[in-house]
Amino acid sequence: MSRGSATGAGWDGQRWRAEKRSATLFKKVLIANRGEIAVRVIRACRELDISTVAVYSDPDRDAAHVAAADEAYRLGPAPPAASYLNGDRLLDLAIAARCDAIHPGYGFLAENADFARRCAARGCVFVGPSAEAMDRMGDKLAARETARAADVAVVPGTMASVRRGDDIRRLASEFGYPLVIKAAAGGGGKGLKVVLDDAGVEQALSLAVKEAGAYFHDDTVYVERYLQRPKHVEVQILGDKFGHVLYLGERDCSLQRRHQKLIEETPAAIDGTLRHTLQSAACKLAAAINYDSAGTIECLVEGDRYFFLEMNTRIQVEHTITEMTWGVDLVKAQIRIAAGEALWMSQDELSSRGHAIECRINAESPAHEFRPSAGTITHYRAAGGPGVRVDSAAFAGATIPPDYDSLISKLCVWGENRQEARQRMLRALDESVVTGVETTIPFSRWLLEQPAFVSGHYDTSTVEELVRARSGAVAAAFAETPDAALQAPRSGDGAGPEPLTVEVDGRRFTVRVYGAQASSGPAQKANSRFKSPKKAAQSGTSVPAPMHGLVAEIRVGPGDAVVDGQVVAIIEAMKMMNEVVAHQAGIVGSVVVKLGDTVNAGASLLNFAEL
């Protein structure tokens, strides 16, 4: 569509062909990222006959993206500030390797306008939108103002920063509770805290400000009315440098834990009129900021109404399912647009087909509130077959370090319709094997079989409600006694004793012998099991760290009285803030760690005084 037009009217195929411009593509691109997205960009570059340069931190020296690239260079030690967020080092390497461009992937520097400007100053193209577009949409307060000016609906809330608890209480008198505090520079649930009543204001504000400062180096926060049961629906758009904007459908990303997406699907189960309104609003907003790359307009949908939430000025994790239904390679599109090429398609030549679902396979423990599970993958087998796509950098022997996010792979499927896609995903999850770390595979399988997902009538509160319900109606499904449907080890998944092949009356069986010493080595943890959560074992007078991570907050000091279950510290691990709770009541005798310390799982954080 043309700039300023929400429908695309006036830009037909004939005019598009007259305006079409080609460009000389880059010769060499540095990928300023790691993991599966780095591998994904390398593959796109290879298909475009572009040489690639990978970068790596010390724990990633043997990572898949390093082996996949044409060249690879060390960045530094594990902490992101010393590696993947070190813009100076990245630019020096890009110039030394004679790269034309830098692709940031998602996360890290992908939405950093200052880094994009520094790339331009060094003569290296940033594969993404203009710095000006990122500035306007990167600050959530500025984005809300821009959306409102473009006549795009926003969630009721403040248009300025909030610093005091009293200000939030005054807003509650206007909007009512619950409210949500958000980081102005944030995204992905970082710096986001829900406030239910007056009593929770100060703690939520304090934690939101701390998270915002830690993740985004900007502790500005604002407040919105909290929509309790919305769908989270995002529209994929593409814009070029010549005034054209296209939409490529929408994705439903409502199934989340701790504001992090678990499962996405396209198309969303929304009314056709609302779908058209959403797509038009997305293009209108993108046109208003002269957007020139792949991007996503995220919205909350409540009934037949939508509200603009934020814009992600980068490629999304879940771009895969849009590619499967619309047939457009979005990563290649980013590269071609950054090189100066005009969009090579018009809106009326685009259409979607079928239904696609993505499950994020994360190294997390669903049984322990999705606690990160860093470690070494001992066995890895990806699903395959018709309609299955796996984007991953995982392999047997690969390490999931505690310093970065917990994503292992993205399991995506396509079907002629939603039911076929759901059944195909269930089959693909059954085929997927990851051992050595805990994963979300069994939880995803269980979730896809819940009535809320089967019907498509779910929202952002569904996962939390289903998890809570385990203590009631569905508790039996997660009992410690193995359940045949959820916990029976499947052949070849590496669970329990090693499988034995036997024949009875000429029929082949694969069996496992329990209660006897396995003949071929120690048992490994099954990835097909999902048990009810229980507290990590704690005893004695010490409160240990439940995981490897960074001490982000200490909430108690010597002499403080602590009650059983009280949050005493916050550990940052794999890009998540994790609460550490006391396992008993008592008086704090000493705090062993200090802010900023890196601790290992099991290390003592504080000790209780002896009574």
DSSP track, 392-413: E---TT-EE-TTS--EEEEEEE
> Do the domain assignments include residue 161?
yes
Listed residues 344, 374, 408: the one ending a domain: 344
Distances (CA, A) of 544 to 84, 210, 390, 565, 601: 30, 22, 37, 14, 7
Distances (CA, A) of 474 to 23, 444, 471, 489, 528: 58, 16, 7, 21, 18
Residues 408 and 479 in one domain: yes
Q: Which residues contact residue 98 at a Cβ distance below 8 angstroms, ignoring those fewer than 6 apart?
A: 28
Residues 361 and 481 in one domain: yes
CATH number, domain containing residue 286: 3.30.470.20
DSSP label at residue 268: -
pLDDT tens digits, 355-404:
999 999 999 988 877 888 889 999 999 999 999 999 999 999 999 998 89
Out of 244-253, 299-308, 465-474, 583-592, which region has the weakest mean confidence (pLDDT)? 465-474
E strands of 416-474, at which residues? Answer: 433-435
For residue 244, pLDDT over 60 is answered with yes
What value does the mean pLDDT take over residues 12-26? Answer: 61
Distance CA 430, CA 542 (A): 40
Query: 100 falls in which pLDDT band (50, 70, 90)?
Result: very high
Q: What is the pLDDT at residue 217?
A: 80
Query: 307 falls in which pLDDT band (50, 70, 90)?
Result: very high
CATH number, domain containing residue 87: 3.40.50.20
Residues 363 and 444 in one domain: yes
Residues 471 and 363 in one domain: yes
Q: What is the pLDDT at residue 140?
A: 87
Distance CA 486, CA 442 (A): 8
Residues 237 and 338 in one domain: yes
Query: 223 falls in which pLDDT band (50, 70, 90)?
Result: very high
Distance CA 415, CA 334 (A): 26
pLDDT tens digits, 401-417:
988 999 999 999 999 99
CATH number, domain containing residue 208: 3.30.1490.20
Q: Which residues contact residue 470 at a Cβ distance below 8 angstroms, ignoring those fewer than 6 apart?
A: 477, 478, 532, 533
Q: DSSP letter string over 302-352? A: ETTEEEEEEEE-S--TTHHHHHHHH---HHHHHHHHHTTPPPSS-GGG---
For residue 486, pLDDT over 60 is answered with no
For residue 191, pLDDT over 90 is answered with no
Distance CA 132, CA 136 (A): 6
Check: CB of residue 301 under 8 Å from CB of residue 231.
yes
> Do the domain assignments include residue 349?
no
Distance CA 396, CA 406 (A): 16
Check: CB of residue 366 under 8 Å from CB of residue 26.
no
Please indicate whether residue 498 or residue 204 has the higher confidence score (pLDDT).
Answer: 204
Residues 479 and 394 in one domain: yes
- Cross-strand pairs, 31: 54, 103
Q: What is the pLDDT at residue 485?
A: 32
Q: What is the pLDDT at residue 516?
A: 52
Distances (CA, A) of 12 to 2, 9, 46, 288, 466: 10, 7, 32, 21, 47
Q: What is the pLDDT at residue 283?
A: 97
Percent of the chain at pLDDT > 70 equals 85
> Do the domain assignments include residue 212?
yes
> Do the domain assignments include residue 529?
no
Distance CA 581, CA 605 (A): 11
Q: State whether residue 34 is helix, strand or coil.
A: coil
> CB burial class (10 A; 0-12, 13-18, 19+) of residue 290?
middle
What value does the mean pLDDT take over residues 597-606? Answer: 83
Residues 319 and 379 in one domain: no
Burial 523-557 (b: 16+ CB within 10 A, else e): ebebbbbbbebeebeeeeebbbbbbbbbbbbbbbe
For residue 9, pLDDT over 90 is answered with no
Q: DSSP letter string over 133-158? A: HHHHHHSHHHHHHHHHHTT--B-SB-
> Do the domain assignments include residue 19?
no
Distance CA 290, CA 241 (A): 8
**DSSP-H helix ranges across 217-291:** 272-288
Residues 424 and 480 in one domain: yes
CATH number, domain containing residue 604: 2.40.50.100
> Do the domain assignments include residue 502?
no
SS (H, E, C) 60-115: HCCCHHHHHCCEEEEEECCCHHHCCCCHHHHHHHHHHCCCCEEECCCCCCCCCHHH
Residues 391 and 290 in one domain: no
DSSP label at residue 24: P
Please indicate whether residue 66 or residue 17 has the higher confidence score (pLDDT).
Answer: 66
Listed residues 165, 196, 225: the one ending a domain: 225
Domain that holds residue 260: 230-344
For residue 342, pLDDT over 90 is answered with yes
What value does the mean pLDDT take over residues 93-111? Answer: 97
Check: CB of residue 372 under 8 Å from CB of residue 402.
yes
Percent of the chain at pLDDT > 90 equals 62
Listed residues 203, 225, 247: the one ending a domain: 225
pLDDT tens digits, 281-305:
999 999 999 999 999 999 999 999 9
Residues 445 and 323 in one domain: no
- Count structural domains, the chain: 5
pLDDT tens digits, 115-171:
999 999 999 999 999 999 999 998 889 999 999 999 999 998 888 899 899 989 988
E strand or H helix that includes residue 469: helix 462-469
Please indicate whether residue 466 or residue 13 has the higher confidence score (pLDDT).
Answer: 466
pLDDT tens digits, 487-533:
333 444 444 566 777 767 765 677 777 655 444 443 344 444 444 34
Q: What is the pLDDT at residue 134?
A: 96
Residues 215 and 234 in one domain: no
Sign of CA dihedral 131, 336, 277, 230: negative
> Do the domain assignments include residue 14?
no
pLDDT tens digits, 553-567:
888 999 898 888 888
Q: Which residues contact residue 286 at a Cβ distance below 8 angstroms, ignoring those fewer than 6 apart?
A: 237, 239, 245, 295, 297
Residues 68 and 191 in one domain: no
What value does the mean pLDDT take over residues 327-339? Answer: 98
DSSP label at residue 196: -
For residue 212, pLDDT over 90 is answered with no
Distance CA 344, CA 150 (A): 27
Dmax of the chain from CA atoms?
Answer: 84
> Do the domain assignments include residue 17?
no
E strand or H helix that includes residue 39: helix 35-47
Please indicate whether residue 337 or residue 530 has the higher confidence score (pLDDT).
Answer: 337
